Amino acid sequence: MTDTTIIQLALQTMLVALKLSAPILATSLVIGFTVSLFQSMTQIQEFTLSFVPKIIGVGIVLLICGDWMLHTLVDFTTSLFESIPSLLG
């Protein structure tokens, strides 16, 4: 196993992690910004107001994108297991 192979494998792993976390993080960012804007306009400083919409939004995103996320992770893991003989030899 060469240094290039290890770096390529680490890069693929980070890209898959980025693809899987992007919908959740983007949703959380948009909802958090919207709630913060609403709180600053109305001067309501309630801490639970920012958490409840984020939890609901992330849950909806997981319901919508969960199947795609699972298939992406399974495909990556399968390709990783299939490449073990070539990585060792």
User: Per-residue pLDDT tens for 33-65?
Assistant: 999 999 889 888 887 788 999 999 999 999 999
Q: Read off the pLDDT band of 2 (50, 70, 90).
A: confident
Residue 1 has pLDDT above 80, yes or no: no
What proportion of the chain, given as a percentage, has pLDDT over 70? 100
pLDDT score of 45: 81
Per the structure, the count of domains in the chain is 1
Mean pLDDT of 79-84: 93
Burial 13-52, CB ≥16 within 10 A → b, else e: eeebeeebeebbeebbeebeeebeeeeeeeeeeeeeeeee
Q: Which domain holds residue 59?
A: 3-88
pTM assigned to the model: 0.81
Closest-CA residue to 20 (of 82, 79, 80, 77): 77
